[in-house]
Amino acid sequence: MTRYFPIGILCFLFGSFSLVSAQTGETGSTTNTPKYSNEFLRIGVGARAFGMGNAQVAAANDVTAGYWNPAGLASPGTVPYPEVSLMHASYFAGIADYSYIGFTMPVDSASDKYFGVSVIRMGIDDIPNTLQLIDPDGSFNYSRVTSFSETQLAALVSYAWQPVLIEGLNLGFNVKIIYRGVGRFANAWGFGVDLGARYQRGPLSLAAVLTDATHTYNAWTFNTETFAEEFAATGNIVPTSSVELTRPALRVGLAYDISLARKAKLLLALDSDVYFDGRRPGSVAFIGNASVDPRLGAEFALLNQQYRKVAFLRGGVYNIQNILDSEGNPVTGLFPTIGVGVVLRNFTLDYALANIGNLSENLHTHIVSLKFHIQ
């Protein structure tokens, strides 16, 4: 074991952000457009969404629409009061924490214009910094081991309205501010815009969102004095700055609400993410230069005497991919999700169990979210 072996950990973290690969020389600023960028914003928010396989582009009409489709904030059925939602989930046996808080409120007396804010954080905390673990004489000095966090943070500021000329149409947009950091070693600030539309006619809703519509720009800076000596000694390129672009992608969805009885309803939803950066590994559909990632979901709701939804049972599938089974044969993987929910006065408590592994592994995460409106 060499003195600079721990630097491999740091190189791996930088590589996961596509930073090292962005460099074209030993120093200087470069621009990089990776296939995967700001992927933590693709995970989803709300236990209701996870229970329905994240099929929410046309179905979301509450505070979580600020994430799924900002136009949904002003859709018919939106609660005309300030609304707050909280969610927390742990991934990979508690290694990574994922949290969300959202707020929305009407901004006019007619309740056809809405403002919202969504904050999302995904992070890995208490990562050992072993760069100074080995003394010059080759001995281990554990007192010099510190820790750092890898953080991905985003704030989405939303605005939605109902155009007066087209009944059933809602429009909205997000302004996104993104921060990503690797301890004191490197950090990035990003800025982007999402554009959304939703049209509802009777029980049918159609929706689309263009995420990162003008590309999202992530400007990376590096605190090189924290690792330059180790990088140079191990032959790694010492970065100085980098601009990472997140490409535009399209989310499309439809939802259909069915009345089963006087006190029961069924909501069916179908979404697809469309990426325009070439074939993605595992994509079940590839058209031209676009890869398609479909999702399916359903929600069964019970109604009370006032015909308000008070209890829910949900199911769905997402991460539908072409993969190889244990014997190396190509199969289509379906990753199931289930969920339940209950309404207690102004509060809604939702729970979901989602599969985040593959067909041969039992990797699940529990998602709990709470939503309430101030009346």
Average confidence (pLDDT) over 150-178? 94
Q: How many CB atoms lie within 10 A of CB 123?
A: 17
Average confidence (pLDDT) over 151-166? 94
Read off the pLDDT of residues 237-252 as tens digits, 9 standing for 90 and up.
Answer: 666 778 888 999 999 9
Position 105 scores a pLDDT of 94
Lowest mean pLDDT among 134-138, 308-312, 358-362: 358-362
Position 348 scores a pLDDT of 96
Position 334 scores a pLDDT of 78
Q: How many CB atoms lie within 10 A of CB 160?
A: 29
The DSSP letter of residue 341 is E
User: Is pLDDT larger for residue 219 or for residue 357?
Assistant: 219
Are the C-beta atoms of 316 and 334 separated by less than 8 Å? no
Can you tell me the distance from the alpha carbon of 49 to that of 362, in angstroms, rounded to the nearest whole number?
21
Measured in degrees and rounded to the nearest 5, phi and psi for residue 66 equal -60, -30
Position 191 scores a pLDDT of 95
Q: How confident is residue 354, by pLDDT bands cut at 50, 70 and 90?
A: confident
Position 287 scores a pLDDT of 81
End-to-end CA, the chain: 63
Are the C-beta atoms of 179 and 151 separated by less than 8 Å? yes
Looking at domain 7-373, its CATH architecture is: Beta Barrel (2.40)
Position 235 scores a pLDDT of 66
Place of tokens 């302004």: 175
Read off the pLDDT of residues 14-51 as tens digits, 9 standing for 90 and up.
Answer: 443 333 333 333 444 567 777 788 989 999 999 999 99
Q: Is the pLDDT of residue 178 over 90?
A: yes
Q: How confident is residue 341, by pLDDT bands cut at 50, 70 and 90?
A: very high
Position 136 scores a pLDDT of 77
Average confidence (pLDDT) over 298-305? 94
User: Is pLDDT larger for residue 307 or for residue 172?
Assistant: 172
Position 317 scores a pLDDT of 93
Average confidence (pLDDT) over 69-97? 88
Can you tell me the distance from the alpha carbon of 349 to that of 342, in angstroms, rounded to the nearest whole number?
6
Q: Is the pLDDT of residue 4 over 70?
A: no
Average confidence (pLDDT) over 335-359? 85
Strand, helix or coil for residue 323: strand
Mean pLDDT of the chain: 84
In the chain, what percentage of residues exceed pLDDT 90? 50
Q: How many CB atoms lie within 10 A of CB 213?
A: 17
Position 242 scores a pLDDT of 83
Position 23 scores a pLDDT of 37
Q: How confident is residue 356, by pLDDT bands cut at 50, 70 and 90?
A: low
Q: Is the pLDDT of residue 164 over 70?
A: yes
Q: How confident is residue 231, by pLDDT bands cut at 50, 70 and 90?
A: low
Position 363 scores a pLDDT of 61
Q: Is the pLDDT of residue 283 over 90?
A: no
Q: Is the pLDDT of residue 170 over 60?
A: yes
Position 230 scores a pLDDT of 66
Domain spans, the chain: 7-373
Average confidence (pLDDT) over 307-324? 89
Residue 21: CB partners within 8 Å, gap ≥ 6?
15, 32, 34
Q: Is the pLDDT of residue 312 over 90?
A: yes
